[in-house]
Chains A and B, each alone.
Chain A
């Protein structure tokens, strides 16, 4: 009789596929996982606590660093919450700018996901293809606000910078280019037998489990639940545009993959309409009091970030600083299902499933 023992393996915090400093302790029986314990907090910076000593404009740069792959949407959720609390009007041009950068950001974020996910699965080239195309979006943002990753672009009541001359035309040119590239991605990767064998039926859960775990974004929609805040609870100008919410059926990694790529296409559709309807010159900053003091009270606002529902809960006592600021981070919430999914899977599937959830550690740890 051979004596076998379980192997306790520490995946991370320094591991190439945990997308940052995230750690999972797995118990392995051969290559099969019998227990998985995620350990979070290696990138915790106390954003919410820090925010209690800052005024609202000063908090915006901190939101950049939360979901650093999609900083525009995190910018937006804070500004939107404060505006809603104070009942501020945002000029139409500013709202259009916000919507355009948010949709561009969604495309960029999904491109990062697509590249790194295939890198996890072992295909090297898609990563470079994705980053080549993401670079165009980053350059557009760079032209707009001078930063490539942490934009600090939005303000309560509008946006900081107007579009420079020719910027909208560049966005317009980018849309057909990206549509072509999306077809190229599908040609290159989506039909690959090895790739399909790797992700089909992996990391499966049903709609009930997904809702019980509070999942959102592509993780929820892959089970067939039609829940996209842009459609379900329209904010910004999303009710003006036509777009579809791609849904999955099986709730596996393959569905999540297809949904994310389809979301890129839908984002491009929104962008196309937004660029067409883009209003003429005007203010990009609304009438905002010099010191932003939301009235006493509480407010929760949720929007659809590329990763799911990102929410901002403000408790104000009528001062310039929030009494308490709470972010609902989709990466953190979506990650909670991981230990359940991992039991009984192989070590290889750990990477596939973790990648499929699409986390950003900056957002998980906040």
Chain B
């Protein structure tokens, strides 16, 4: 498919692109549906509960029922809200979340767009979602939503910086911004993957990523016990569903990105396990990251906003820069 992107656009190609897009959309929607189910089950087990078990066998259709409910719910727009922005915000949040998935390579051959600046593309597009959250908070004309939106803006901006700088080390080691070649260059043995040589960068990346996802312990924008629901407090029905969808699509994106950048993508942990298809390894790593994200939600309390800012600017950013420096020194001394 990468080759087609370079050719002139014909109707046939456009149709193919469209079809691939639809397939990816279906995969993502399927993931979101069952990620929510999985999250509820995992947290349920951790809390001595059963989790959803009524709709369908083992509760498998619970998320489907929830989404159907949201779909047929009345769509309310507050009278004093800024109508145009209020309607725009959920869509604006979702589009970049979906668009960043284009550059994720799943195996050596299975990928959508093979862009040379794939990592940059990911980071740049995911920043747009912040605007959507501020818009949503602002246009709702609700004080809680405004506070949530403002918190979110502050949080996402201050965590995007360490997030980007933490992956610079990986980029330096592999000498490429192309996600496919970054994944490809990681070795056959699991200790050759980026997460061990880049352990500082990996830890910073995970912390910043959790914060970017607005998940516990960094779920301040929607801190339920303080701000009731944060920026989407006035949204209902399918517009609300879009915000939720965005969040889970970002879980998908971040889990996939972590797998590609730090966990060797589709590589098997040992060369003698190479006969197992790469996609299986990718999915295993991907699922463990998703599980990790759900796990900390059941474990940790929420951090305070000033502590969050302090952590971002005073700890993560210097550590990330130090990581870049150490990587540079290492490369100067040993790689050359």
Contact = CB atoms under 8 A, between A and B. Distances in A.
Interface residues of B, number: 31
A194 B302 contact: yes
A194 B48 contact: no
B307 A192 contact: no
A28 B226 CA distance: 14
A346 B48 CA distance: 34
B305 A125 contact: no
A119 B147 contact: no
Contacts of B46: 125
Interface string B192-230: 000000000000000000000000110110011111100
A129 B47 CA distance: 7
A125 B49 CA distance: 10
Contacts of B297: 124
B298 interface: yes
B223 A122 contact: yes
A122 B47 contact: no
Contact of A197 (B143, B226, B227, B303): B303
A348 B147 CA distance: 11
B218 to A, nearest CB: 10
Contacts of A194: 217, 300-303
Interface stretch (A9-17, A70-78, A259-267, A286-294): A9-17
A198 B305 contact: no
Interface in B42-56: 43, 46-49
11 contacts: A9-B143, A122-B217, A128-B47, A128-B49, A129-B47, A189-B301, A194-B303, A347-B147, A347-B227, A350-B226, A351-B226
Given A122-B225, A129-B48, 15 more contacts: A9-B144, A16-B225, A16-B228, A17-B225, A31-B151, A119-B225, A122-B219, A122-B300, A122-B301, A122-B303, A194-B217, A194-B301, A348-B220, A348-B304, A351-B225
Interface of B: 43, 46-49, 143-144, 146-147, 151, 216-217, 219-220, 223-228, 297-307
In the A-B complex, the 3 residue pairs with the smallest Cβ-Cβ separation, listed nearest first, are A122-B302, A123-B301, A128-B47
Interface of A: 7, 9-10, 15-17, 28, 31, 118-125, 128-129, 132, 189, 192, 194-195, 197-198, 346-351
